[in-house]
Structure 1
Amino acid sequence: MTNHPRTTAIALATALLLAGCSFIPTYERPAAPVPANYATTDAAAPGAATAAPWQDYFAEPRLRQLIEVALANNRDLRVAVLNIEQARATFQVRRADQYPGVGLAANASRAPAAGSGDLTNSFSVGLAVSAWEIDFFGRIASLKEQALAQYLATEEGRNAAQVSLVAAVANGWLNLLADEELLDLSRQTLASREESIRLTKMRLDAGVASELDFRQAESLTQAARATLAQQQRQRALDENALALLLGQALPDDIRASLTGSRLAAAPAMAQLPAGLPSELLTRRPDIRQAEQQLIAANANIGAARAAFFPRISLTAQAGTASGELSGLFKSGSWGFTIAPSLLLPIFDAGRNQANLESAQAGRSIAVAQYEKAIQTAFREVSDALAGQATLGEQAQAQQLQAQAEAARLQLSDLRYRNGVSSYLDLLDAQRSLFTAQQAVVQVKLAQLQNQVALYKALGGGAPETTAGNPS
């Protein structure tokens, strides 16, 4: 059995159309430009990095409520979600370019006939395909792959924004707890110093203390009052910053529950094994986002290369035509036309070459950005592990120092009342104790926020896979 030549030609053209070809360079993931292990061994050694959804990592019920509010109302996260919708629509536009667009065409004309010069009418109605590019060389397919990678990059961008938002809300909440504790400490210190200045005034009136002692006590009291005002201002600023993350004001029940809060009472966060730096490539959404952008830049090179080859377009129309409007749709008026066209670039003043060079430079930029994302992630994890290894010891030492300063204050007060030491020694002990107590709160805050930083640096609870086909 032999094939008809026309059938063979049609089959060959269909095979070429379906198979096509691609000039996209073979993608190879760049090597991670970081060491194979973290510098700190104690925290990094056990286990592989595992996903920890924020609901499991943050045990504080009030903090969980705030995170849920932020995920629902935060405007930055909302913009990230809308960026996904925009990228999905762009991908669908590129995908639609691979298929012919069919429309209803109607034409009417009146022109002089050739030779006689008599005016003649022409009417036609039918379905038309206008300038459909047959993608033999993969230019449109390359643009579609680029749009798909950009869509996946925006999805990873949303995941990264969510992890950052969760960490920011947790840090904001810890800041408020620390503010409340520092405010209570400042109020207690101010009350103690006001009592001290009252007693010093009584001793001055009785001729037991000097005016110098009174002025020193007064100065220390005003310093405590100034510190209290500063911390009240910082408390308001931290609440405003948290409200911006939430997208609304702090709920009244949570604001009321903050009174008397202590960092030490905050529930412990789950332990996270750091694993190996190579695991960051799949755990960190910002790294996955950078890789998708690299894939998009790689696909753009394919489109730029295909521009050097001919573009084959097809225009077709099928319908009815007649010299009289009443003759449309009658027998013998039906027909069709097919008009393929080919455009081969010969001279374009270097435009196609410049586009190719721009695409190649764009891929080099994307490679550098991808490598920078990996290096940044490695540093953030390393910093968090370093803090984890040392902040615990610092917090313990700070607590012991505060206890020593409290004992020193008692001894200084006893020595002053017995006339063994000067009032200046007592004031110095009061200042040192207040400073040490503040440092205890600040180091505890740093320790808790370092745990949040480790959660964020390891990719948080973001999923390891991106969205599916955006069709």
Structure 2
Amino acid sequence: MREQLNMKQTTYIILLSMIFTSCLVTKKYTRPELELSEAYRDVTLKDSTSLAEMPWNEFFTDPTLKDLINEALENNFDLLMAYQRVLAAEALFKQGKAEYMPTLSANLGVAENKMSNQSWMQGLSFEEYSLKGSLTWEPDIWGRITANKNAAKATLFQVQEDTKAIQTALVANLASAYFQLIKADAQIDLMHKTIANRKESFEVMMELKKSGRVNEAGVMQTKAQLHATEALLVDFNRMQKLLENTINLILGREYADIKRSQLNDINTAKSVETGVPALLLANRPDVRAAEFRLMQAFEQTNVARTSFYPNISISASGGLQAMDPSLWFNKDALLYNAAANLTQPIFNKRRNRTALEVAKAQQEQAFIDFKKSITGASTQVSDALINYQAATEKYKVKSDELEALNKAVTYSEDLLTSGFATYLEVLIAQNSELNAEINIIDIKVSKLTSMISIYEALGGGWRN
């Protein structure tokens, strides 16, 4: 009779807990309202097409660069570590989903007992064999398990977006370093050609000195100009080697020769259709990761709220116990136990309230970080657009400047030979021409890298 009463009480508690399940104390996440401008500073965008929606293997047209990116995606150390973080987050999310299920365990035991000779059993000894199973279940009364599961899910999504952000930065950094290496190659080629011309100029000045048209100072100035160009070659060679090391590190390998194209073979024509800033919420992995961090913090606040409410757990165990395993199948060997526990926190040194206050503060930090990521993303797009427009305008101006300087060098050299110009005028014209040629190479690559910056700032690079 007593056993029947206990079973009825346990059943009543279980049914009561089911009713409480509809009385969740947690809240549902909603995206916060954010005001987003329709323009990137002075650049108003009329269409919603975004470079970020273009896969990287379509955005980049150089086949050699594509091969390098593919290699980096397979071997880059940072990306490989990010993949492992995703696997860890997936495991934690699976664990969160499994918390709804009861815990089931089995135990097989053998015990040998010998009583004291001074006890009432006077040294009695016996063996005991048992086969037991136990089940424990915690109903999600207040939504704590659901909140923990949602937090793990948000963490998984955040880690996945972080991985995409790493890939975006990886593609952009590798492409930028690749174009910088091509620029160094072009500058080295320019230096070799210039040094050859400087040597010819030095020979000409030596002949002019013999004929009395220039003096020793003019010869030494020309020689100094030659050595200055040779020094520039040393700098560009150093830069070339450093860039090769950088690219090999990005590729996750020891030093090897880097295959690359020539600057004149690179296509710089690309339509800049960036889309409106609101698309950053959908395209930028780091912005999406920041929102998932906010969601995770929000769910942790839900978990902290549930700690103020009673914790209910239901357990049951049963099995077979006898002094001989052959007696297990006797009905008298059956044992069982069922229990329901309710624990209400009353005073625990303010731990629950502290946990809730900390969770709320961390949630507010995550919200601020989310707003900061959106603002920073919009600023990066604006900066990239400004740099791209400046490089485009400057390239045209510098091209006109170089054309004029080429003519100036030709005229001054002809006039020097005819005796109507000084060696100083020739040196000035030649130095100005060299600086303009270096600048042209630099600006051409700046235009390329600014396009990459726009692509990265809009969240491009993680779509294959």
TM value normalised by structure 1: 0.89
Aligned counterpart, 1:69: 71
Q: CA deviation at 1:295?
A: 0.3
Which one of 13, 18, 27 corresponds to residue 15 of structure 1?
Answer: 18
AA in 2 matched with 1:145: N
Which whole-Å deviations, capped at 9, do the CAs of 1:192-239 have from their partners, x for residues lacking one?
Answer: 111212222333344432111111111111110000010000011111
Q: Give secondary structure in 2 for the equivalent of 1:332.
A: helix
Q: CA deviation at 1:115?
A: 8.7
Structure 2 unmatched ranges of 5 or more: 1-7
Q: Tell me which residue corresponds to 1:101.
A: 103
TM-aligned CA deviation for residue 6 of structure 1:
7.9
Residues 272 and 455 in structure 1, CA contact (< 8 A), matched pair in contact too: no
C-alpha deviation, 1:155, in angstroms: 0.7
Summarize the alignment of residues 265-414 of structure 1 with structure 2, pairs less than 5 Å apart.
Answer: 265-268=265-268, 270-324=270-324, 326-414=326-414
Residue 244 of structure 1: SS of its match in structure 2? Answer: helix
- In the alignment, what sits opposite 1:224? 229
SS of 1:313 mapped into structure 2: strand
**8 Å CA contact retained: 1:25, 1:301:** no
Q: Distance in 1 between matches of 2:446 and 2:273?
A: 20
- 1:169 aligned residue: 174
What secondary structure is seen at the aligned counterpart in 2 of 1:243?
helix
Matched, 1:126 2:132: yes
Paired residue for 2:203?
198
CA distance in 2, matches of 1:37, 1:223: 47
Q: Per the alignment, do residues 100 and 438 of structure 1 end up closer, same or farther by CA in structure 2, a change over 3 Å counting?
A: same
Partner of 1:468: none
1:33–1:375 contact (8 Å) kept in structure 2:
no
Aligned 8 A contact 1:178 1:445 in 2: yes
How far apart, in 1, do the equivalents of 2:106 and 2:267 lie?
A: 67
Mapped partners of 1:116, 1:249: distance in 2: 79
Which residue of 56, 59, 65 corresponds with 1:57?
Answer: 59
8 Å CA contact retained: 2:412, 2:421: yes
Q: Is the 8 A contact 1:283 1:462 kept in 2?
A: no
Deviations 1:365-396 (A, max 9, x none): 10011111101110111112223333211101
> Partners of 2:254 and 2:412 in 1: how far apart?
47
Q: Which amino acid aligns with 1:46?
A: D
In the aligned structure 2, how far is the partner of 1:426 from the partner of 1:363? Answer: 68
Q: Which amino acid aligns with 2:431?
A: R
The worse-fitting range, judged by mean Cα deviation, of 365-374 and 421-430 is 421-430
TM-score computed with the length of structure 2 as normaliser: 0.90
Alignment of 1:136-285 (within 5 A): 136-248=141-253, 255=259, 258=261, 261-262=262-263, 264-268=264-268, 270-285=270-285
Comparing 97-106 and 366-375, the one that deviates more: 97-106
Separation in structure 2 between the aligned mates of residue 89 and residue 178 of structure 1, nearest angstrom: 46
Q: CA deviation at 1:34?
A: 4.2
Name the amino acid aligned to 1:24: T
Contact 1:313 1:342 (8 Å CA) reproduced: yes
Q: Which deviates more, 28-37 or 343-352?
A: 28-37
Distance in 1 separating the partners of 2:204 and 2:197: 11
Separation in 1, partners of 2:166, 2:364: 25
Partners of 1:214 and 1:422 lie apart in 2 by: 12
In structure 1, C-alpha distance between the alignment counterparts of 2:364 and 2:301, rounded to whole Å? 11
1:58 shift after superposition: 0.9
Q: Show the counterpart of 2:449.
A: 449
Question: 1:250-293: CA deviations, max 9, x gaps?
Answer: 875x63x54xx22x420245424212111111111111111111
Cα deviations by residue, 1:328-368 (Å, 9 ceiling, x for unpaired): 34332113111322221111111111111110011011001
8 Å contact from structure 2 (residues 54, 463) kept in 1: no
The structural deviation recorded for 1:187 is: 0.8
**Measured at CA, do residues 47 and 183 of structure 1 come closer, stay the same or move farther in structure 2, by a change above 3 Å?**
same
Partner of residue 29, structure 1 = 31
Q: Which amino acid aligns with 1:49?
A: S
For residues 273 and 132 of structure 2, what CA distance do their matches in structure 1 show? Answer: 67
Letter in 1 for 2:344: L
User: How many angstroms apart in 2 are the aligned matches of 1:463 and 1:25?
Assistant: 34
Q: Answer yes or no: is the 8 Å Cα contact 1:70–1:246 preserved in 2.
A: yes
Q: Output the amino acid matched with 2:133.
A: L
Question: Could you say what the CA RMSD is over the residues aligned between the two structures, in angstroms?
Answer: 2.6
Cα shift at 1:29: 1.6
Letter of the aligned partner of 2:181 in structure 1? L
Q: Is the 8 A contact 1:120 1:323 kept in 2?
A: no
Identity of aligned residues (%): 29
Contact 1:23 1:303 in 2 (8 A): no
| 1:83 lines up with 2:88 in the alignment | no
Q: 1:33, 1:371 within 8 Å by CA — same for their partners in 2?
A: no
Which residue identity lines up with residue 437 of structure 1 in the other structure? Answer: E
CA distance in 1, matches of 2:366, 2:94: 24
Distance across 1 between alignment mates of 2:461 and 2:421:
58
Deviations 1:164-200 (A, max 9, x none): 1111121121111111111111111111111212222
Q: CA deviation at 1:408?
A: 0.9
d(CA) in 2 for partners of 1:14, 1:348? 24
Tell me the equivalent position of 2:3.
Answer: none
Q: Is the 8 A contact 1:32 1:374 kept in 2?
A: no
Q: How far is 1:316 from its partner?
A: 2.2
2:130 aligned counterpart, secondary structure: strand
Contact 1:24 1:300 in 2 (8 A): no
- Matched to 1:48, the amino acid is T
Q: Structure 1's 14 and 229: CA in aligned 2 closer, same or farther, altered over 3 A?
A: same
In 2, Cα distance between equivalents of 1:13 and 1:428? 94
The answer to which of 402-411 and 326-335 deviates more is: 326-335
Return closer, same or farther for 1:150/1:21 CA change in 2, 3 Å cut-off.
farther
